[in-house]
Amino acid sequence: MAKHAITLNINGQQMDVAVDSRELLIHTLRDRLRLTGAHIGCETSHCGACTVDIDGASVKSCTVLALQAQGADIRTVEGLAGSEGLHPIQEGFFEEHGLQCGFCTPGMLLRAWRLLQDNPNPTEDEIRHGMAGNLCRCTGYQNIIRAVQHASEKMQSGETAAAE
Amino acid sequence: MASDIEEVESTESTESAESEARELADRLGGVGCRRKRTEDARFIQGKGNYVDDIQMPGMVYGDFVRSPHAHARIKSINKDKALATPGVHAVLTAEDLEPLGLHWMPTLAGDKQMVLADGKVCFQNQEVAMVIADDRYLAADATELVEVEYEELDPVVDPHQSMAEGAPVIRDDLAGVDEGAHGKRIHHNHIFTWDVGDADATDKVFSEAAVTVKQDMLYPRVHPCPLETCGCVASFDKVKGELTVHLTSQAPHVVRTVFSTLSGIPESKVHINAPDIGGGFGNKVGVYPGYVVATVASIVLGRPVKWIEDRIENLSTTAFARDYHMTGELAATEDGKILGLRANVLADHGAFDSCADPSKWPAGFFNICTGSYDIKTAYARVDGVYTNKAPGGVAYRCSFRVTEACYIIERMIDVLAEHLGMDKAEIRLKNFIQPEQFPYQSALGWEYDSGDYPRALKQVMEACDYDGLRREQKEKRERGEIMGIGLCTFTEIVGAGPSRNCDILGVGMFDSAEIRVHPTGSVIARMGTKTQGQGHETTYGQIIATELGLPSENIIIEEGNTDTAPYGLGTYGSRSTPVAGAATAQAARKIRDKARKIAAHLMEVSEDDLEWSGEGFRVKGVPDQSTDMPTIAWAAYNNVPEGMEPGLEAVDYYDPPNMTFPFGAYLCVVDIDRYTGETTIRRFYALDDCGTRINPMVIEGQVHGGLCEAFAVAMGQELPFDGAGNIQGASLMDYFLPTMVETPRWETDHTITPSPHHPIGAKGVGESSHVGGIPCFSNAINDAMNQFGVSHVNMPHNAFRVWRTLHELELDQRPEAANVEPYQPTREAAPESGSPASVQSPDKASGKGTEITIERNYPLDVPADDAWEILQDIEKVTACMPGASIVEQTGDTTYVGEMKLKVGPVTSAFKGDIEVLGVDPENKELRMTGSGGDSKGSSSASMSLTARIEDKGAGRCELVGSTRIELKGKLASFGGRMLENVSDRMLQQFVDSFRDRVAAGGEGEQAEEARRRVEEGPKSMNALAMVWQVIKSLFGRK
């Protein structure tokens, strides 16, 4: 099967990769680029374990062809932490016990990241609705919500500190 | 007076000792502190290592050809086309496994199970053949090319029909076998009858009791559905003759023993590695055909083979739970003192008995069904039967069948209270086993270790203002609002278990820990259990930190690799803390004993003069004279007493003297919308007593998670089947996993009643809230319904089912409703998209597949005569469907049609017979039937269709279609919502093409445009492979 050469900008890094026309983005990320943070939990776009951020939106990468992502800016869990350490969202999940088996976590983190870009100070209800596309079987969600609230506070106080 | 002073002093000294201990625990990260989890660092950075993350050079992929039928004989399997496909390396069938003796495998329950279908299939989606190919797409393609010819047999779907005279024989292999693993078999579909208790004494109590109640209840078939499905990477090294399998296992050591036994490879040359596991909940205890076939493929090919389930495979083939059809009975005095319990269960085990229970317990620990109550006389009986459903019977986030036991007693006590007109808290307080009765011998054979049930319930009642809630419920009832209050005061039985009565395949259910203290005082420890999210790497470290006085941040915990970890029975049934946690404490204590000797040697005092300080040893009465554990550790490697061997490590295999019995008191408040059945969980309060609390943060997390899964089971989960044995809704389209939106907010609380026989008093907590949560939710819904005279409704309590009950009670009638004409959808009024398709699962006894009825009307901007002309032309109508064509006309009114599709990873051809039953030019009506299947027989369907053109005048008309479709096989298993959705889209596309085709016959720009579109043909749809499976076949049957 003829391959197609595409370029993806993943976590600020340009990556050239040859993919099959029918290849799903999640397989390209996991199997070809070895970015195994995002996972596959279903094939019906329900679980959100494969969530990554593409051009400013949370996207379930099991429902997108790799070809469709040609030229896109993609962020995955591997790109969340910066040179100064963990991202406040990662810290939030750690501090508030927002994960157990860890399988849904990369998708949760990326969705939370986008949610807080769009709405830096969400209410509990907004978090519940904003993250309803990501399923978790372990935590009962309560600590995930706390984790997002933790991150929200941290990011805002960070901004305030930076402004001062 | 003096004694008073003493008491004050002793309280003070206790308090100060406690605060000192707390301070020490915080400093060391020991038992009792809210230590943050060590495993999180890798998970939050995407560096977990799950089975599907593993890639190896030369690795190939396996995918299954599965049975579309619940019960059928296999007439032939043709793998030529698949094998001829580039990139395909092998296609394995039972015939290939037979010479190795691996076409069947033993189950944990003493039965055997087909690895690949051996002459027949006994449940839908059963494994028939495995294709091994270069990548997962090629493997999926090639499964479509394996042609299997089936001869359908009548299925047994309803377990109540299973042992009927003349019921179909499911297990031909058991012909003449009248002795099963658990006693006599009395029918070809009978597996076992297991009973416990004194039947005669119980009958006597019931015949003499003033009050008796009886209730049937169904605990439906559900599935643990962890977010990560099952899978493995098997790699056989031909040179060394060694087998390495990375797999999703909660019990890797037992898997090693099973693999060695099955394959004949010495156990020392079998390496099982369970890396990070994405949730288990019982799903990952068993050995599945996928593991075995991938392993054989690796041995045959000499290459690593990866097999990963998809979600449908997971839900439909590996490890269902529950499916207990129960009848509970209680005998009591008029004032509500329970005298006796009788429980009868019909257990649907599917086609093979692969329940994951300790060998001697075919119904697990169901005999814990006397619960938290002092019931002197009881009898329980479970009859296990075969049906044409997937095997399983795992403990979904619970100890073996404890959830079922807890449900029956907690529902029955409510049924009794309701019958007597007693309060549901009062009846519990009246019947509780009292604190002074422990250790308590239950009527059905258990010795409860410790508990204080009244305290727990009273604490919850006070925290939630139980009396106030009851008052509110009454007031609301008067206002016509529906509120329910659910209680559950459960006792669990976990920590299997004493090897005298618990084993898996003959291996006693002990567990183990091996601890090594390094010269610098850091520690590595390994256990025979396997975490799947429970946080073992954190909590075992805390036990060691407290026992050895070394900081937990320098303690590494490893599990899952059978090469390095000591042999253990794995993690399920909340056994890690009770068994391996005990082993950890015991191994640490062995180290501490040696450390004491070294300390005495270093300090030149007698061992007896030393006492443990929490971080080392000090001389009794001389606190300044002390030595800490790092110093002792260093000395262990260079300065030990004479005659002592150097080093500081220990192994402990812990065989528990008894189970542990965690308990709790839960309260749930629900508000039900009487018009829609929508239920709001207003409050859920969970008090758990798991004995000593190792890490409160982790405990709360476990409780939250268990409650959420309880919510899922009680309010929505089930795996239903239609009459033909098609599994309905085996994808996340239908199987209910709650999102953040539905999930209630949890309130947690606790009491502490340590286990007297556990080294640190801990009992296990991972499953309590699932076991106790389910009856609590169900009791709340039933409590609401009790107000209207209903004694019991079965789970799942989803909005539709709750509404249906309310509707039957006529509670959903608004006063004004009587004045309103019932809504009758009319064709004229219907919007273009039509009314939703209705999907029905006929009753199980009918033998019918899933039926879909679709009625639609589509306005067309073309004259009626033009539309009618096209509609009569079957070839043109067919051409409106993407990829479809008429292959040949076989008679005046009969045709053979074909549907070819190559989209996404799937290529497939459907063929079917079409018969035009009537063409009525006067009414412009066409009637036809069709039936057919795909080339590999994975799905079949029959359909009847009526299509009519209605003239609307002014050059407009309407296409009115009504169709009834019966589905069998793979398609039917996609379930209602999926089929409804897809058929809507498909119809829309068909109508668009039809409209173009009619318009193309006209003149002008629009006609020109339509002609162009007709020439292009219908666009292929871009959708997921699975959606395509549905679409292609909906088209294909026409």
Question: Element (H or E) spanning B968, and its range?
Answer: strand B956-969
Q: What is the pLDDT of residue B54?
A: 98
Q: How confident is the model at residue B558 (pLDDT cuts 50, 70, 90)?
A: very high
Nearest chain A Cα distance for residue B906, angstroms: 10
Q: Where are the domains of chain B?
A: 51-153+229-277+284-317, 191-223+320-496+660-831, 511-654, 850-1032
Q: What is the pLDDT of residue B974?
A: 61
Of A43, A77, A101, the CB nearest to B1024: A43
Separation between Cα atoms, residue B725 and residue B70, nearest integer Å: 5
A148 touches chain B (CB under 8 A): no
**Residue B46: closest C-alpha in chain A:** A37
Looking at CATH, the fold of the domain delimited by B191-223+320-496+660-831 is given as: Aldehyde Oxidoreductase; domain 4 (3.30.365)
Q: How confident is the model at residue B1035 (pLDDT cuts 50, 70, 90)?
A: very low
* pLDDT tens-digit map of A47-76: 999 999 999 999 999 999 999 999 999 999
* Closest C-alpha to A27, from A14, A12, A43: A43
CB contact under 8 A, B46 and A106: yes
Range B525-554 average pLDDT:
97
A76 touches chain B (CB under 8 A): yes
Domain formed by B511-654, architecture: 2-Layer Sandwich (3.30)
Nearest chain A Cα distance for residue B171, angstroms: 32
* pLDDT tens-digit map of B651-707: 999 999 999 999 999 999 999 999 999 999 999 999 999 999 999 999 999 999 999
A43 touches chain B (CB under 8 A): yes
Range B1011-1031 average pLDDT:
55
**Looking at the domain that runs over B850-1032, which CATH code has it been given?**
3.30.530.20
* pLDDT tens-digit map of B883-934: 677 888 888 888 888 766 443 334 456 678 888 888 888 888 888 888 877 7
| Residue from B227, B310, B312, B1030 to probe the interface with A (highest A Cβ count within 10 Å) | B227
A120 touches chain B (CB under 8 A): no
B250 as an active site residue: the answer is yes
Q: What is the pLDDT of residue B834?
A: 41
* pLDDT tens-digit map of B804-856: 999 999 999 887 767 777 666 554 433 444 444 444 444 454 567 777 777 77
Q: What is the pLDDT of residue A114?
A: 98
Instruction: For residue B510, give the amino acid letter.
Output: F
B277 to chain A: which residues are within 8 Å by CB? 101
Nearest chain A Cα distance for residue B280, angstroms: 9
Q: How confident is the model at residue B778 (pLDDT cuts 50, 70, 90)?
A: very high
| Total count of residues recorded for chain B | 1038
Residues 81-110 of A with CB under 8 A from B: 81, 86, 90, 93-95, 97, 99-106, 109
Q: What is the pTM of this model?
A: 0.89
Taking CA atoms, B7 is separated from B3, B16, B534, in Å, by: 6, 14, 41
Q: Which of B185, B303, B381, B397 is catalytic?
A: B397
Range B948-971 average pLDDT:
81
pLDDT above 70 coverage of chain A, percent:
96
* Closest C-alpha to B997, from B1011, B1016, B1018: B1011
* pLDDT tens-digit map of B271-290: 999 999 999 999 999 999 99
- CB contact set of B1003 (below 8 Å; sequence gap of 6+): none
Q: What is the pLDDT of residue B1028?
A: 45
Place of tokens 């493997």: B139
Separation between Cα atoms, residue B484 and residue B631, nearest integer Å: 61
B668 as an active site residue: the answer is no
Separation between Cα atoms, residue B344 and residue B307, nearest integer Å: 40
CB contact under 8 A, B1024 and A133: no
Q: What is the pLDDT of residue B1032?
A: 45
B534 as an active site residue: the answer is no
- CB contact set of B1025 (below 8 Å; sequence gap of 6+): A43, B140, B904, B905, B906
Of A30, A49, A78, the CB nearest to B227: A49
B904 to chain A: which residues are within 8 Å by CB? 22
Nearest chain A Cα distance for residue B414, angstroms: 27
Buried b (16+ CB within 10 A) or exposed e, B276-287: bbbbbbbbbbbb
* Closest C-alpha to B244, from B303, B286, B290, B316: B303
Of B45, B534, B740, the CB nearest to A90: B45
Range B30-55 average pLDDT:
98
Mean per-residue pLDDT over chain B, rounded: 90
**Residue B978: closest C-alpha in chain A:** A44
Domains defined for chain A, CATH in brackets: 3-78 (3.10.20.30), 88-156 (1.10.150.120)
* pLDDT tens-digit map of B368-391: 999 999 999 999 999 999 999 999
A32 touches chain B (CB under 8 A): no
B872 as an active site residue: the answer is no
| Residue from B222, B711, B740, B745 to probe the interface with A (highest A Cβ count within 10 Å) | B740
Does the structural domain B51-153+229-277+284-317 have CATH classification 1.10.357.10? Answer: no
Q: What is the pLDDT of residue B200?
A: 98
* pLDDT tens-digit map of B153-207: 999 999 999 999 999 999 999 999 999 999 999 999 999 999 999 999 999 999 9
Q: Do domains B191-223+320-496+660-831 and B511-654 have the same CATH topology?
A: yes
* Contact criterion met (CB below 8 Å) for B793 and B783: no
CB contact under 8 A, A22 and B50: no
Counting one residue from chain A and one from chain B, the pairs whose CB atoms sit within 8 A come to 185
Q: What is the pLDDT of residue B964?
A: 77
Using the predicted structure, report yes or no on whether residue B218 has a pLDDT greater than 80. Answer: yes
Q: Which of B250, B532, B542, B586 is catalytic?
A: B250
A41 to chain B: which residues are within 8 Å by CB? 227-229, 278, 311
Separation between Cα atoms, residue B329 and residue B337, nearest integer Å: 14
B703 to chain A: which residues are within 8 Å by CB? 140
Nearest chain B Cα distance for residue A100, angstroms: 4
B739 to chain A: which residues are within 8 Å by CB? 132-135
Buried b (16+ CB within 10 A) or exposed e, B984-1006: bebbebbbebbbbbbbbbbeeee
Pairing outcome for strands B555-559 and B610-612: unpaired
* pLDDT tens-digit map of B74-111: 999 999 999 999 999 999 999 999 999 999 999 999 99
* pLDDT tens-digit map of B452-485: 999 999 999 999 999 999 999 999 999 999 999 9
Min mean pLDDT across B253-267, B513-527, B809-823, B829-843 is at: B829-843
A126 touches chain B (CB under 8 A): no
Min mean pLDDT across B152-156, B229-233, B623-627, B954-958 is at: B954-958
A60 touches chain B (CB under 8 A): no
